[in-house]
């Protein structure tokens, strides 16, 4: 499941999206991590340009990852992305897009 986070989001907007989506992993860059360092809503944090704990270096992990994996059976209607409304009329609400969405 992919949850895009716009770089203009502040800590509260990011925390809301991570919490509601149930995200377990965050991939970010060092500059954007300043907004999420105090957020413990994810199990793993990967940073593309740093490996200072608690983050893991994204490229190093990718390089050492196994080439063997099992794919999950999916249908075109299975959700693959969660986007959020602007919240102009209250709290932001999640919108699920299926694989067919792309």
> What is the number of structural domains in the chain?
1
In a domain, 100, yes or no: no
In a domain, 64, yes or no: yes
pTM assigned to the model: 0.75
φ, ψ dihedrals at 46, nearest 5°: -120, 130
In a domain, 41, yes or no: yes
Domain that holds residue 19: 11-74
pLDDT of residue 97: 85
In a domain, 4, yes or no: no
pLDDT (tens, 9 = 90+) of the chain, 102 residues, equals 888 888 998 888 888 888 888 888 999 998 898 888 666 788 888 888 877 777 788 888 889 999 998 988 989 888 888 888 877 777 778 888 888 765
In a domain, 40, yes or no: yes
Alpha helices in the chain (DSSP H): 11-21, 30-33, 58-64
Q: Give the residues across from 27 on adjacent strands.
A: 46
In a domain, 66, yes or no: yes
In a domain, 58, yes or no: yes
In a domain, 39, yes or no: yes
CA-wise closest residue to 98 among 26, 19, 1: 1
């Amino acid at each position: 499941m992919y949850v895009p986070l716009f770089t203009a989001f502040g800590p509260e907007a990011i925390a809301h999206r991570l919490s509601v989506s149930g995200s377990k992993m965050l991939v970010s860059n060092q500059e954007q991590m300043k907004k999420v360092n105090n957020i413990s809503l994810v199990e793993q944090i990967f940073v593309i340009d740093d490996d200072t704990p608690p983050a893991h270096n994204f490229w190093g992990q990718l390089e050492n990852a196994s080439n063997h994996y099992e794919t999950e059976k999916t249908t075109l209607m299975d959700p693959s992305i969660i986007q959020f409304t602007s919240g102009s009329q209250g709290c932001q609400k999640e919108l699920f897009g299926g694989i067919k969405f792309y």
